[in-house]
Structure 1
Amino acid sequence: MSLPAFQDRFRKANRNTLRLGLLLMVAVLSFASLVLPIALRPSSFPLKIGDVSAQDIQAPHDLTYASDVLTEIKRTEAESGVPPVYLPADPGITRRQIESLRNALAYITAVRADSYASLEEKYADLAMLKQLDLDSESMAQILGLSDARWEIVQQETLGVLEQVMRNTIREPDLRDARRNVPTLISFSLTQEQAQIVSNLVTQLIAPNSLLSQELTEKARAEARETVQSLDRTYIAGETIVSRGQVLTALDWEALEKFNLVKPPTNTQDMIAAGFIVALNTVFIGLYFVRRRPAVVADSRSLLVIALTFLLFLFSARLVIPNRAILPYIFPLSAFGLTIASLFTLEIGLVVSLSLGILAAYGLPYSLDLTLFYVLSSICGVLILGRARRIASFFWAGIGISGAGAAIILAYRLPDTITDWIGIATLVGSSFLNGMAAASLSLLLQYFLSQLLGLTTALQLLEVSRPDHPLLQFILRSAPGTYQHSLQVANLAEQAAEAIGADGLLVRVGAIFHDAGKAMNPSFFIENQLPGRLNPHDDLDPRVSSQTIISHVSDGVTLAKKHRLPPRLQDFMCEHHGTLITRYQYSHAVKAAGDRPELVNIEDFRYPGPAPRSKETALLMLADGCEARARSELPKNEEEMRLLIRKVFDFCQREGQLDNTSLTLRDLNRAADSFTKTLLNTHHPRIRYPELQPNPSAAEAALPFPSPAAESIPTQPQKDTRQEP
């Protein structure tokens, strides 16, 4: 393998490695944008029940869920509303209490009747009574009663207790029953005796209707079962927890349902995000490998696409999550419009599809949001087309708005959660999205094109206006060059359209390609008047050659002065490639005694470089074909085709087309287009016959030339200095 071939293969390998590295870098950063918590509105908050919220937390989307906490609250309320269930009054309890009272009274009577016990011993005996708890005062009162009075007290005590216990007494009613005892005692007793009766009866009153725990639990269970599961609904944007609010169990449950306090499993999310990013990476890679658009050859353009893609993706993942309206306002479609206006419509469609999928991945309503982004972007890019008018951006914005509104209506009308006000709000957001996308793409394509030296259709249309200062300068200083450039522009534009190249770029580049001739117009034959001396006749061939070659650098100088897009400078530098000024070279060889070794051919060579794109190659071919056709004036289609084929073969033989992507099919189509255009341009004209009537004296006096004068053919001049 030769050294140049090895170097060429090495450069291609390096370029492929850089492209693969760029693709992998975009994939890694895209994956990071999906899994890292970069959203302005966090997807989860470090809160627990009882904490005070430091900010308002709103519902990121519509949600209806079965609330366990709310259902439990209602069931607890229903359960607590069920009163305790008591059994019917039990007569056995009344009998036991009366029997206990009789036993106690009999014991007290025995103590009173004990004549051998001292007073202190009687106090001690009464203190040992189990049924009653008597204090010293009560003991003294009992022991101080006469037998007759004690008998009355005993009878009254048994009667009052029996009367009280005849009623149904429950535990909650026990205090009331004891409080009512004094009202039941006979008024025939003294205050002291009534106090003794009340003291004895009160201690033996007991509930005779007992609580049934089993029946109560059953009734409460039945009450709980009557409460159905309760749903809780939040509308997107509704406040779940306000700033400064203490977090309750009900609030916690809502936050948990929205995954705002307990994020989903990271491992599963990362694996899922990895699959979607890998799929998009393979998709983009296959597109660039299989379709091989022209942008692949320009690493700078690929870098612009990658950085803009990441900028929009990270912005979307930063702003959109956990918001209700903003996802439908965010102008994601501006990315597709920008790429389509800077490069090609096809690339704009492909990258818009990938961005729309990643931007909406994992978000609530991700399916309809994905379709919202993808379809609206595609519609906008298709309407934008080649972006040759500012109005195209406006109509693209309208298309984005309409497509987005259709997606919203298609997916939200069947949704019973979203009301008409919500739907109208989202539709309005869609129209705002379209206008924002169109405006943003206009700004982005302008700044990116200025910053990175890219050329847009709007820039080309702006500089190609006839009133552009540089075009006016060419027209005034070198009108022949101006007309020549227009003819070459028509020729090259038609060929570009035929092979699928950028016709607008070729046309504008052709209009300006010879701008440098306006600096020294008289040195170029198309600007020389017939009969005037040719300044090249008195110049040394080298000086003459350098004067002609200088129109390339002069053109670049003028382009920079008038701030033409950098892409147009390529047409100025490459339209002669690295060819030589053969007329001056041949004169130099002749002056050296026909000894070529004495002449340095590099003194007569254009600085180049050779054409590096289809567009500049078409300009070189069109320039050469137009010049030869103008000088040789082929008489028919066969001669025209032969002339064009000579120009094509010469450029190929000189290696001027080696760095372009022109195929043999492209060259054949370009040759056919050149033939058709040149034949129409150089079509023969009808010779007007001279009229021989005897004009009247008045007609003979009119100052009009004879029609025959207009038909006198002039001898064409041959441009021998710029033959390819």
Structure 2
Amino acid sequence: MMEVQAPPPSKLTLFLRAFTLILTVLAAFAALTLPLALRPVALPLAVGEVAPRDLDAPRAIEYISDVRTEEARQNAALTVPSIYTPADPSVAREQIHHLRVTLQYITTVRADEYADAIEQQSDLLALENITLNPEIIATILSSSDAQWETIQQESLSVLEQVMRNSIRQNDVASIQRNVPSRVSLALTETQANLVAALVRAFIVPNSLYSDDLTEASRNSAREAVEPIVQQYKAGERVVSGGQIITSANFEALEKLGLIQSKDEFPKTIGAGVLTLTLALFLWLYFNYRPSAHLRDLRSLVSAAILFLVFLVGARLALPNHLITPYFYPLPAFGLLIATLFGADTAFVLVFALSFLTTYGMTDSLELTSYYLLASLVSILVLGKARQTWSFLKAGLAVSLVGIAMLLAYWLPFTSADWIGIATLAAAAAFNGLSSASLTLLLQFFLAQILGIPTTLRLLEISRPDAPLLQYLLRTAPGTYQHSLQVANLAEQAAESIGADALLVRVGALFHDVGKAQNPLFFIENQVPGSINTHEDLAPEESAEIIIRHVNDGVTLGRKYRLPRRLIDFILEHHGTNITRYQYTQA
């Protein structure tokens, strides 16, 4: 679109613009920080401290409790018993082998003819795998070969029976105590005690504790625990006065905004840096690409107020809520700015608003993408907004992009069930509907209040049945036909140079509307053959009447609430030319 080079603004205008920007920056900074102070009175508490008074929920809240969920998962893991490996046959074979070697050594000592009793006892005491007391050693040495052979066989048999079963470390002692019950009753008590002594020494665990299996089982138990949703109704007691604050209490108090941070300074600095950075971005952008729509101070202030209304509303409504952010019609701001001030202005303001709105929130990245992409796509879909259907299409774009962002961020990175995702998708769909409806409603009122020629407003007032056009048609039909012809020509000229063809056409329709106040003084409204009223007037009076149609047109335009840019067409369509016919007559 070709724009006419505007005269440089005055120093006062520049000052007022800078002042408006400064006030907007300060208000935006306050919106990021003051909601902390506007919440219910917060206390600087910590886990383990005693609550100084009763703390009740200031509002209804529902959230996934990380603390309670973790406690439940830890309890579930603790209920999982330790897991041991199955009985290992190789351990049994190894122990039987050791016992057999020991028995062979004892047999060798018994058969040593050159060793006396003292040397034999010394050799038996030197055994590494078993410690024998003197009574057992005496039984070994005093047994006959047949008895010793029986003892050997019984020892190997009993050890094999014992080691066939699963033996854990904490079971070894009890199994060792029960060995005598496994010895054959055909042996004497002395022989049975010898067998028990030999077997006990070789009973070892064959089922070992498995860290991997136990941890895997406990992890499965943890994962089986669903996230715990904690609810508080407005006014419900969270912590009673004098009660020690637990981790779960502290989490609930934080969610409700009842915990005062020990140090708010870093948050304040962060909010200030973000606000100043975005303010610098907007300042540089509009210096590089000045917006004709925002040159007017009233439009600039209106855009700033809309920006702050949406920002403050979001900062007060969104924190500590799960579904509300997806309901909040932030895209309506972008659609409204695009309708009133153009898509380029809407793009950069939506960019700044999306970052400020979600700053410091838990899901800031997801919500920023949700708001920003939904707003940008809907602005593109809205286009020139020539029909009500354009707004409905933009609302549908908000819904579809919002649902796409939910699928992009919730499915891969959260454990939300399909019911939860469906609920959020319904919220996104409602967001699109509410954004389109809110935009359609507000643009109608704001366009009239600010005198902005929005597309729908131009289409509305250019209808043949529009009150002012009907007045022009009935009182000055010749001027009406003249205006239609000028409008057609001007529209074609505007299209050829890339100007706003609709604005030019409607402006041309109303440029001579002031002639309706004195229609017979203009030739296009005079009946052929009738007396020209100007012939009976002095040239000065005749010229005054002709020139007056400009002021009369401004009066009618204001009466019928024409946008200011259309009134400019009425004011400027004659430029500085003189009424040459009357000038010549004079």
TM over 0.5: yes
2:252 equivalent among 224, 242, 255: 255
* TM score, norm. by length of structure 2: 0.67
Q: Deviations along 1:322-357, whole A, 9 cap, x unmatched?
A: 111110001111111111111212111221111111
| Distance in 1 (alpha carbons) for counterparts of 2:306 and 2:63 | 29
Q: Secondary structure at the match of 2:237?
A: coil
TM-superposed CA distance for 1:38, in Å, is 5.0
Aligned counterpart, 2:449: 451
Q: Is 1:471 paired with 2:469?
A: yes
Match of 1:521 among 519, 522, 526: 519
Equivalent position to 1:317, from 315, 318, 324: 315
TM alignment of 1:661-672, pairs within 5 A = none
The corresponding residue for 1:462 is 460
1:17/1:235 CA distance change after superposition, 3 Å: farther
* Residues 287, 498 of structure 1: alpha-carbon distance in 2 compared, 3 angstrom cutoff: farther
Deviations along 1:298-325, whole A, 9 cap, x unmatched?
1111111111101110010011111111
How far apart are 1:437 and its partner, in Å? 0.9
Matches for 1:267-416 after TM superposition, within 5 Å: 267-416=265-414
Partner of 1:578: 576
Matched-pair contact (CA < 8 Å) for 2:492–2:501: yes
Partner in structure 1 of residue 416 of structure 2: 418
Which residue matches 1:22? Answer: 20
Aligned to 2:55: 53
Closer/same/farther in 2, CA of residues 347 and 61 from structure 1, 3 Å limit: farther
Higher relative contact order (CA 8 A, sep 6+): 2
How far, CA to CA, are the matches of 2:514 and 2:77 in structure 1?
Answer: 91
Equivalent residue letter for 2:57: Q
| Contact kept in structure 1, 2:57 and 2:256, CA below 8 Å | no
Amino acid at match of 2:354: G
- Report how far residue 66 of structure 1 moved: 8.7
CA 431–44 in structure 1, closer or farther in 2 if over 3 Å, else same? farther
SS in 2 for 1:322: coil
Instruction: State the 1:404 CA deviation.
Output: 0.7
Identify if the C-alpha distance between structure 1 residues 58 and 555 changes in structure 2 by more than 3 Å, giving closer, same or farther.
closer
The yes-or-no answer on 1:485 pairing with 2:483 is: yes
Shift of 1:49: 4.5
The structural deviation recorded for 1:56 is 6.4
Answer whether contact 1:63 1:233 (CA < 8 A) is retained. no
Residue 264 of structure 1 and its aligned partner are, at CA, apart by: 6.6
Residues 472 and 513 of structure 2 are in contact (CA less than 8 Å); yes or no, is this contact kept in structure 1? yes
Q: Is the 8 A contact 1:316 1:359 kept in 2?
A: yes
Residue type at the aligned position of 1:559: G
Amino acid at match of 2:403: A
Q: Determine the C-alpha separation between the residues in 1 that align with 2:564 and 2:38.
A: 40
Counterpart Cα distance in 2 of 1:475 and 1:378: 42
Render the CA deviation track for 1:352-390: whole Å, top value 9, x for unaligned. Answer: 111111101111111010011111111111111222212
Shift of 1:65: 5.3
**Is 1:543 aligned with 2:541?**
yes
Contact 1:308 1:335 in 2 (8 A): yes
Contact 2:239–2:249 (8 Å) recurs in 1: no
For 2:468 and 2:256, the matched residues in 1 are separated by 63
1:104-127 deviation per Cα after TM superposition (whole angstroms, max 9, x unaligned)? xxxxxxxxxxxxxxxxxxxxxxxx
Q: Alpha carbons of 1:38 and 1:386: their partners in 2 closer, same or farther (altered >3 Å)?
A: farther
How has the CA–CA distance of structure 1 residues 75 and 379 changed in structure 2, closer, same or farther, with 3 Å as cutoff? closer
CA distance in 2, matches of 1:557, 1:57: 54
Return closer, same or farther for 1:259/1:474 CA change in 2, 3 Å cut-off.
closer
Contact residue 32 and residue 315 of structure 2 kept, 8 A: yes
Tell me which amino acid in the other structure corresponds to 1:309.
Answer: F
Change in Cα spacing, 1:74 to 1:509, as seen in structure 2 (3 Å) is closer
Q: 1:403 to 1:54 in 2, by over 3 A?
A: same
Number of corresponding residues? 436
Could you say which residue in structure 1 is the equivalent of 2:100?
none
CA distance in 1, matches of 2:497, 2:36: 47
Partners of 1:293 and 1:358 in 2: CA distance? 22
- Offset of residue 567 of structure 1: 3.5
The question of 1:510 aligning with 2:503 is answered no
The letter for the 2-side match of 1:249 is T
Measure, in 2, the Cα distance between the counterparts of 1:550 and 1:241. Answer: 67
Partners of 1:565 and 1:34 lie apart in 2 by: 36
RMSD: 3.5
- Structure 2: 5+ residue runs without aligned partners? 1-6, 81-213
Deviation string 1:159-210 (CA, Å, 9 cap, x unpaired) is xxxxxxxxxxxxxxxxxxxxxxxxxxxxxxxxxxxxxxxxxxxxxxxxxxxx
Contact 1:49 1:249 in 2 (8 A): no
Q: 2:260 and 2:13 mapped to 1: Cα distance? A: 46
Aligned pairs (5 A) from 1:184-195: none
